[in-house]
Structure 1
């Protein structure tokens, strides 16, 4: 008999590290180099603003998920509060979000491997995908274990960076780039060296840096104790944002004047190469490589689960709902991995633009998903005050803060439209939503016609 239910095999340590892994990825390790070049030291403010916004999204999502034990994804919540059409669009958009994100990570894997081997980018990308696919096909516990160790490597790296930076600051030591000092934050053109324009244009990459934080919600269906584990993971997000993002960037910019960092390489690799440890740069390049693999692993997990849920709701092929003997949606994993592998092709065709294009599309689509969560929470609080009243994990400052965050997201989209580099991707992305709208309408008509034919058939007694 075919398996139809996902297995709850993710323990608390898995959920906690998935939450950390979701907030530390390619956007920080590689994308921050580009963002720093745009905003200079003010990039720390950008990360703080977006981080606070994402925390409120997660609190809204946490309350919604725990209000109904039957919720397994964003689509379940969207369908209850915004209807099946929005649920269909959101479900497929979330799948598309992670496809784009995983493509960016696959591209990053190719970039990092170039540090050691001069081989085509697509080769390590394909090898990485094959290994992760094999591991994910076994059990969901394997995904949890992979993320646990990947995230642990990231945490140790950032702790090491911050520790070394603090020692250099206290002792007044120097690197090849000069003195390690807090004055580096304002002595090279000020905190806003490229003005307000540079500060605003950095928001796109910073939004991308936070994608994946909502994986705590996606993993809810496979979490052993969601009522305990999900609030615990979400409530620790602000501390992680301050420490792993703002703290790490503070140390980076004290060690390196922002003018010394290149948008084409990881500022983490650059920083460790300056501190005088001969093998440090190679070690950190390995770390950021595992970070990209981790994010790709998250992408494969989430895309397969969202396809599984779409299939269960008759919004995708029934084949995607089939689970293998390990309770893993194998068909969904295969098709998602196949589509993600297009990232390797993209890096071959347009190597200079590929990373920027897929990260912009990913950021736009994630803004949609996060926005849907906020709108659903507003509707939930208005239409189900009984559930909100008895909730043990109430989202704070709602609904006012939801409106403020939605306004921030709208402003970021306007900034993307103004910026020449992100404008093409922003203008392309609406085509995806139009396609989904049309597909839903066509499928709805087909279902209605099928129901009419069935109801018109005479009943034989």
Structure 2
């Protein structure tokens, strides 16, 4: 196999575990969770619990497929095998598009955080962050993994500190405090806007948990993909249960749900109520870490998807070229360029072009998750008895229920005024991708999984240990 078109298996298991954890804990937890509490009331943690269960089920389905057949293309390849070329093409390009838009968005968000300390134009700070993370990804996959390991470690440490201090505060193990859970029921009760608010909030919450699936892509660049992805998937279950649900419960207990300060920065507000000094500075640093983690993962994920698409003759073959360190340089640079363009769009037309890009990618991750669920159902039925190392629980009932739940979230988006435009534009994005697929197929592009792939169009699972 041509060494210029092979990825190297240099990610360590500890790095993959942290990639999975870091993917779950995004900046949305530290910033956006306050808005969810304002909208749903003290019971907002139930929205996170329900969404967490849904994400765990999706990850279990992915884990089943990834352990039996690790691939750089991961769920794009699984969709191709299960549903056909159109599905693999759709997942690959839609997921790439989602992440390059996220890269631009996170670069702008990171610049806003840095402006807390440094007075400089946002576009300049954004481009600086983009260049930093691009260089990190270009150097080696190990450097990406190490950065992500420490980024995720800081996020985990911050939440653990909050859980410990917040738990002591509400239980009365705190100077001049007694046990107090009254904020859960005062101010119009536990569910001030009714039970429906809990389900409406899921539309927002699910986007804050996006990213854990990156581990199944990164697993193909480890020495033992099947073992690594199994360990990473198990860690996601615990982290979602404790970090999201636990921290949201404590936030609802510490700060009144109708506090206007929650919307800006809920953790800062909670630490302030507890009397912790320098809370704003400390949490800004944590939020910046979360943003950089997402930016780092976004560049990694989008470049690997481009690599796979090129391997399947569904993108320019030049995108499969890698450096001597096993890094897909051209694919990383191509994704970075689109990220740079998004940053410029945010600077020039924040309420026009940039807002359009955000809306046109808003529901895409749900489309991808739905195709993942459908792929698992099909592939599980084809699997031989005893060949699966990890199995989805209570198949087929729980798999079908997961797919139905994702479809229900899409329906919720369709009937919610604030998300209708995002769903509509995301659907148009998918239609455009399908149109491009038909053109590619007509011109002889796109290969199936079973076809042998030559050096000029390498396999999507080109992962070789050094």
Q: If the length of structure 2 is used for normalisation, what is the TM-score? A: 0.89
Matched residue, 1:445: 442
Alpha-carbon distance, 1:434 to partner: 1.1
Structure 2, unaligned stretches of length 5 or more? 446-466
Partner Cα distance (1:253, 1:100) in 2: 32
1:64/1:2 Cα in 2 relative to 1: closer, same or farther (>3 Å)? Answer: closer
Aligned 8 A contact 1:100 1:362 in 2: yes
Aligned 8 A contact 2:219 2:228 in 1: no
Aligned 8 A contact 1:172 1:181 in 2: no
Matched residue, 2:150: 149
Matched residue, 2:197: 198
Matched residue, 1:325: 324
1:236 pairs with 2:235:
yes
Query: Which protein is richer in helix relative to its size?
Result: 1
Partner Cα distance (2:429, 2:320) in 1: 23
Alpha-carbon distance, 1:76 to partner: 1.5
1:84/1:16 Cα in 2 relative to 1: closer, same or farther (>3 Å)? Answer: same
Matched residue, 2:461: none
Classify the secondary structure of the residue corresponding to 1:188.
coil
1:361/1:157 Cα in 2 relative to 1: closer, same or farther (>3 Å)? Answer: farther
Classify the secondary structure of the residue corresponding to 2:275.
coil
1:165/1:357 Cα in 2 relative to 1: closer, same or farther (>3 Å)? Answer: farther
1:189-268 matches, within 5 Å, as 189-262=188-261, 264-268=263-267
Matched residue, 1:276: 275
Classify the secondary structure of the residue corresponding to 1:41.
coil
Aligned 8 A contact 1:31 1:263 in 2: no
Matched residue, 2:392: 395
Aligned residues: 444
Cα RMSD (Å):
2.4
Partner Cα distance (2:341, 2:419) in 1: 21
1:426 pairs with 2:427:
no
Alpha-carbon distance, 1:360 to partner: 6.0
Partner Cα distance (2:48, 2:434) in 1: 33
1:409 pairs with 2:406:
yes
Give per-residue Cα distances to partners, 1:119-171, cap 9 Å, x unaligned. Answer: 43322221111111111101100011001000110011001111111221233
Aligned 8 A contact 1:35 1:263 in 2: no
Partner Cα distance (1:264, 1:430) in 2: 30
1:250/1:361 Cα in 2 relative to 1: closer, same or farther (>3 Å)? Answer: farther
Matched residue, 2:181: 182
1:36-435 matches, within 5 Å, as 36-69=37-70, 72-171=73-172, 181-262=180-261, 264-348=263-347, 362-384=361-383, 386=384, 388-435=385-432
Partner Cα distance (1:41, 1:352) in 2: 32
Alpha-carbon distance, 1:203 to partner: 1.6
Partner Cα distance (2:416, 2:349) in 1: 20
1:360/1:271 Cα in 2 relative to 1: closer, same or farther (>3 Å)? Answer: farther
1:361/1:237 Cα in 2 relative to 1: closer, same or farther (>3 Å)? Answer: farther
Partner Cα distance (1:232, 1:173) in 2: 37
Partner Cα distance (2:322, 2:72) in 1: 19
Partner Cα distance (2:359, 2:406) in 1: 14
Q: If the length of structure 1 is used for normalisation, what is the TM-score? A: 0.90
Matched residue, 2:451: none
Aligned 8 A contact 2:70 2:226 in 1: no
Classify the secondary structure of the residue corresponding to 1:137.
helix
Aligned 8 A contact 2:167 2:250 in 1: yes
Aligned 8 A contact 1:121 1:344 in 2: no
1:359/1:431 Cα in 2 relative to 1: closer, same or farther (>3 Å)? Answer: closer
Partner Cα distance (1:264, 1:106) in 2: 21
Aligned 8 A contact 1:71 1:77 in 2: no
Aligned 8 A contact 2:68 2:389 in 1: no
1:422/1:77 Cα in 2 relative to 1: closer, same or farther (>3 Å)? Answer: same
Aligned 8 A contact 1:33 1:261 in 2: no
Aligned 8 A contact 2:4 2:323 in 1: yes
Partner Cα distance (1:120, 1:92) in 2: 32
Partner Cα distance (1:90, 1:272) in 2: 41
Select between 415-424 and 351-360 the one with higher mean Cα deviation: 351-360
1:359/1:53 Cα in 2 relative to 1: closer, same or farther (>3 Å)? Answer: farther
1:428/1:70 Cα in 2 relative to 1: closer, same or farther (>3 Å)? Answer: closer
Matched residue, 1:455: none
Alpha-carbon distance, 1:389 to partner: 2.8
